[in-house]
Amino acid sequence: MNMLLSRITIDPDICHGKSVIRGLRYPVETILEMLSSGMTIDEILADYEDLERDDILAALTFAAQLSRVKRLELVTA
């Protein structure tokens, strides 16, 4: 397992079981939304001092793994 992925935790008692960074209540989806809005890693780290660069990279690694699929099938109505 990628060591970065050990930074991602899932606990039903934290953020309703969403994937978060090190149990800190920062959902992975929030980190990804910040990045997709144009924020840089350094800007995120400046705004959230308890996050580390590897936390941001872990969120990206987690998302990359989730996006891996063998194939997509279109469902038509």
DSSP code per residue over 31-65: HHHHHHTT--HHHHHHH-TT--HHHHHHHHHHHHH
Position 75 scores a pLDDT of 81
Q: pTM of this prediction?
A: 0.82
Position 8 scores a pLDDT of 95
Residue 21 near residue 31 (C-beta atoms within 8 A): yes
**What structural domains and CATH numbers belong to the chain?**
3-66 (1.10.10.10)
How confident is residue 10, by pLDDT bands cut at 50, 70 and 90? Answer: very high
Select the more confidently predicted residue: 69 or 61: 61
- 37-68, pLDDT tens digit by residue? 999 999 999 999 999 999 999 999 999 998 88
Question: Mean of the pLDDT values across residues 5-28?
Answer: 93
Local structure of 13: helix, strand or coil: coil
